[in-house]
């Protein structure tokens, strides 16, 4: 708990400054105060938490799952063969130069207002850190350890399972922690561009009504969701890889 | 008996071979040390014996047969312990046997026997991070034993340890060598360590090298540190240092 004090002090200071400025401006449609945002969340808690949050969570979950599977598959493929690495790596990098907000309307054209247009936006944003971090994790395998296993008669498969996977685990967890906020951003962008429910959709709707607190309320929920998810992953990470410093 | 017959080896990125027509023998049951300065190819000899590299010329024989035909003849212990931090000590020890598809019961039995012999039974379920440097090297040596070879290749295994632990480990390794009745080929930079441990010392005097000068150590086992003060041993030490210096001056 003591470790969290500096972060809490910084957060509270920012909120206090924000509250002070918002009260000074007195224009909630432009800059609502933190108290107004909390009040809005409380007023709309039912619709936000039972309708829009689950909708966004489903898109985020599916998008994240696909991104992790795709990212892992690409990382394994690139690690298995240098030719594949040389072929795929530039394409993966190029995929991140595409402006997502520009291409996302195309996804709406392709998949309509179903969740898949939003999932695709999420995947496009999220798979990149997974593939790059896990691939780098595989590359971090110590050559001496690999050679030691070879002297024991290990096959390529043995080396992958017994050495490369454990070595890449810290990178994998870091990738997941990066991917969670990105997948939420992806889902929200997708919902902004075309949806009938979801926190992104709610935020956009509130903007058209010039309800500043209503725009911020789903953003706060998205942030809280990301923080809680990352904390859960960190907890699992600490349980699973308590040997990180030894690498 | 391990025999190098006119072995020549060159790394693909090098213009010159690092070993040229190298021939030497290590008899069964020997504790043989190789001393020489860094970059001279000492570890390359181990890589060739391990099968990690193939000689361009010549052959490596074990009891007259090419080494490629031998199954699990050697076991290698590198300079760093290279214990897998995500595995318990027991898992680290049984790893070579798992890879050799040895039945689980047998793995457990052998692991227990080795842990008892090295006096680390109570550390079975600990992780490497919970062990001191010397203990880690003991476990690494035990893992090398369990890899099943009759020739143990030890590549500067104590170089990273502090002085006292190193001295302790030298005495310990002699006990283990005598108990397990293995042949040991040991790489070191330390002349005194080579003398204390070995019955035969090979010195590398040129780079690239084709011959290694073999010197027998006139000491009986079991040994103690007092032996190192004997006049013929101090003389041997000086001779070996002179030989190594000659290489540096070349």
* pLDDT, tens digit (0-9, with 9 covering 90-100), for A98-129: 888 888 888 888 888 889 999 999 999 999 99
CA dihedral B162, B166, B168, B174 (to 10 degrees): 170
Mean per-residue pLDDT of chain A: 92
How far is the C-alpha of A131 from the C-alpha of A217, rounded, in Å? 32
Using DSSP, state whether B137 is helix, strand or coil.
Answer: helix
Which positions in chain B touch A149 (Cβ < 8 Å)? 99
As given in the structure block, the two tokens for residue B30 are: 């020997």
Average pLDDT over residues A46-69: 95
- Which candidate from A150, A152, A247 shows the least CB-CB separation from B85? A247
* Residues of chain B contacting A, Cβ within 8 Å: 50-52, 72, 74-76, 78, 80, 82, 84-86, 95-96, 99-100, 127-129, 147
What's residue A113's pLDDT? Answer: 83
Q: Tokens 């992958």 — which residue?
A: A160
Helices A165-193, A199-208: crossing angle, 10 deg rounding: 30
> Residues A187, A196: contact at Cβ < 8 Å?
no
- Which candidate from B80, B86, B95 shows the least CB-CB separation from A166? B86
Does residue B223 carry a pLDDT above 70?
Answer: yes
Asked if residue B62 has a cis previous peptide bond (ω within 30° of 0), the answer is no
What's residue A244's pLDDT? Answer: 67
- Which candidate from B99, B100, B129 shows the least CB-CB separation from A243? B129
Q: Where exactly are the structural domains of chain A?
A: 97-242
The answer regarding whether domain B2-73+150-249 maps to CATH 3.40.50.300 reads: yes
Q: Tokens 């709707």 — which residue?
A: A205
Distant-in-sequence, close-in-space partners of B225: CB < 8 Å, separation ≥ 6: B167, B196
Q: What kind of fold does domain A97-242 have according to CATH?
A: MetI-like fold (1.10.3720)
As given in the structure block, the two tokens for residue A159 are: 């080396």
How confident is residue B250, by pLDDT bands cut at 50, 70 and 90? very low
Q: Find the length of chain A.
A: 247
As given in the structure block, the two tokens for residue B114 are: 């080795």
Mean per-residue pLDDT of chain B: 91
- Which candidate from A151, A242, A247 shows the least CB-CB separation from B76? A151
Inspect the interface and report whether the beta carbons of A145 and B84 lie closer than 8 Å. Answer: yes
Cα B232 versus chain centre, distance: 25
State the smallest CA–CA distance between residue A140 and chain B in angstroms.
14
State the smallest CA–CA distance between residue B82 and chain A in angstroms.
6
Q: Where exactly are the structural domains of chain B?
A: 2-73+150-249, 80-148
A to B CB pairs, distance under 8 Å: 50
Which positions in chain A touch B86 (Cβ < 8 Å)? 166, 169, 241, 243
Which positions in chain B touch A243 (Cβ < 8 Å)? 85-86, 127-129
What's residue A42's pLDDT? Answer: 96
Question: What is the interface pTM, i.e. ipTM, of the complex?
Answer: 0.88
How far is the C-alpha of A82 from the C-alpha of A88, rounded, in Å? 10
* Residues of chain A contacting B, Cβ within 8 Å: 142, 144-145, 147-154, 158, 162-163, 166, 169, 241-243, 245-247
Does residue B249 carry a pLDDT above 60?
Answer: no
What's residue B205's pLDDT? Answer: 77
How confident is residue A71, by pLDDT bands cut at 50, 70 and 90? very high
Q: Tokens 């008996």 — which residue?
A: B1
Inspect the interface and report whether the beta carbons of B84 and A163 lie closer than 8 Å. Answer: yes
Share of chain A above pLDDT 90, in %: 79
Q: Which of A56-70, A104-118, A142-156 has the lowest mean pLDDT?
A: A104-118
* pLDDT, tens digit (0-9, with 9 covering 90-100), for A164-218: 999 999 999 999 999 999 999 999 988 988 888 999 999 999 999 999 999 999 9
Does residue A18 carry a pLDDT above 80?
Answer: yes
Which positions in chain A touch B78 (Cβ < 8 Å)? 144, 148
Average pLDDT over residues A217-244: 91
Inspect the interface and report whether the beta carbons of B129 and A166 lie closer than 8 Å. Answer: no
Does residue B201 carry a pLDDT above 70?
Answer: yes
Q: Tokens 């027991």 — which residue?
A: B90
How far is the C-alpha of B89 from the C-alpha of B85, rounded, in Å? 9
Does residue B246 carry a pLDDT above 80?
Answer: no
Which positions in chain A touch B99 (Cβ < 8 Å)? 149, 152-154, 158
How far is the C-alpha of B146 from the C-alpha of B141, rounded, in Å? 9
Average pLDDT over residues A11-28: 93
Residue ranges in A96-151 assigned as alpha helix (H): 100-111, 115-139, 143-151
What's residue A111's pLDDT? Answer: 86
Residue burial A77-112, b: 16+ Cβ < 10 Å; e: rest: ebbeeeeebeebeeebeeeeeeebeeebeebbeeee
What's residue A89's pLDDT? Answer: 93
Structural element, H or E, at residue B66: strand B65-66
Does residue A247 carry a pLDDT above 70?
Answer: no
> Residues A226, A99: contact at Cβ < 8 Å?
no
How far is the C-alpha of A145 from the C-alpha of A101, rounded, in Å? 45
Residue burial B211-231, b: 16+ Cβ < 10 Å; e: rest: ebeebebebeeebeeeeeeee
Inspect the interface and report whether the beta carbons of B52 and A148 lie closer than 8 Å. Answer: no
* Residue A31 per-residue DSSP state: S
Q: Tokens 């006139």 — which residue?
A: B218
What's residue B247's pLDDT? Answer: 56
Side-chain-facing half-sphere of B26: CA atoms under 13 Å: 30
How far is the C-alpha of A234 from the C-alpha of A241, rounded, in Å? 10
Closest among A205, A210, A211, A179 to A192, alpha carbons compared: A205
What's residue B209's pLDDT? Answer: 72
- Which candidate from B85, B86, B99 shows the least CB-CB separation from A152? B99
Inspect the interface and report whether the beta carbons of B85 and A246 lie closer than 8 Å. Answer: yes
What's residue A104's pLDDT? Answer: 83
* pLDDT, tens digit (0-9, with 9 covering 90-100), for B158-173: 988 899 989 999 999 9
How confident is residue A155, by pLDDT bands cut at 50, 70 and 90? very high
> Among A151, A162, A163, A168, which would you mutate to test the B interface (most chain B Cβ atoms within 10 Å of its Cβ)?
A151
Vertex B161 angle, CA B121 and B118, to 5°: 20
> Among B74, B84, B146, which would you mutate to test the A interface (most chain A Cβ atoms within 10 Å of its Cβ)?
B84
How far is the C-alpha of A190 from the C-alpha of A210, rounded, in Å? 21
* pLDDT, tens digit (0-9, with 9 covering 90-100), for B131-151: 999 999 999 999 999 998 899
Residue of B nearest to A156 (CA): B99
Average pLDDT over residues B77-83: 92
């Amino acid at each position: 708990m003591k470790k969290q004090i500096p972060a809490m002090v910084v957060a509270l200071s920012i909120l206090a400054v924000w509250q002070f400025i918002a009260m000074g401006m007195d224009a909630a449609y432009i800059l609502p105060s933190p108290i107004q945002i909390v009040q809005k969340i409380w007023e709309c808690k039912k619709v936000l938490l039972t309708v829009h949050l689950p909708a966004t969570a489903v898109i985020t979950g599916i998008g994240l799952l696909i991104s992790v599977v795709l990212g892992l598959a690409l990382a394994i493929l690139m690690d298995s063969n240098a030719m594949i690495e040389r072929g795929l790596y530039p394409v993966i990098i190029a995929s991140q130069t595409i402006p997502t907000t520009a291409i996302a309307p195309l996804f709406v054209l392709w998949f309509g207002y179903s969740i898949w247009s939003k999932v695709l936006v999420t995947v496009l944003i999220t798979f990149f850190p997974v593939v790059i971090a896990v691939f780098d994790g595989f590359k971090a395998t110590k050559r001496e350890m690999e050679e030691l296993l070879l002297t024991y008669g290990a096959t390529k498969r043995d080396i992958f399972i017994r050495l490369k996977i454990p070595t890449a685990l810290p990178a994998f967890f870091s990738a997941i922690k990066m991917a969670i906020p990105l997948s939420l951003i992806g889902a929200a962008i997708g919902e902004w561009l075309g949806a009938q429910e979801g926190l992104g959709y709610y935020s956009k709707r509130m903007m058209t009504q010039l309800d500043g607190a209503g725009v911020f309320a789903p953003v706060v929920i998205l942030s809280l969701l990301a923080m809680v998810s990352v904390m859960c992953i960190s907890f699992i990470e600490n349980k699973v890889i308590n040997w990180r410093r030894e690498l | 008996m391990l025999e190098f017959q006119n072995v020549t080896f060159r790394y693909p990125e090098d213009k010159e071979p690092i070993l040229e027509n190298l021939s030497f023998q290590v008899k069964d049951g020997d504790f043989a040390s190789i001393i020489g300065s860094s970059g001279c190819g000492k570890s390359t000899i181990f890589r060739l014996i391990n099968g990690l590299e193939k000689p361009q010329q010549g052959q490596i024989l074990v009891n007259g047969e090419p080494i490629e035909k031998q199954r699990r003849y050697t076991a290698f212990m590198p300079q760093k312990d290279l214990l897998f931090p995500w595995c318990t000590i027991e898992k680290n020890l049984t790893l070579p046997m798992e890879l050799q598809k040895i039945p689980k019961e047998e793995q457990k039995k052998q692991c227990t026997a080795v842990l008892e012999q090295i006096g680390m039974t109570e550390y079975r379920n600990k992780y490497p991070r919970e062990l001191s440097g010397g203990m880690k090297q003991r476990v690494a040596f035990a893992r090398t034993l369990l890899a099943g070879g009759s020739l143990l290749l030890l590549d500067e295994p104590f170089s990273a340890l502090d002085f006292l632990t190193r001295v302790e480990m030298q005495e310990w390794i002699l006990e283990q060598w005598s108990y397990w009745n293995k042949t040991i080929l040991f790489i070191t930079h330390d002349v005194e360590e080579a003398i204390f441990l070995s019955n035969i010392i090979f010195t590398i005097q040129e780079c690239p090298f084709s011959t290694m000068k073999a010197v027998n150590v006139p000491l009986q086992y079991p040994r103690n540190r007092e032996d190192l003060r004997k006049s013929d041993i101090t003389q041997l030490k000086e001779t070996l240092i002179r030989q190594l210096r000659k290489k540096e001056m070349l």
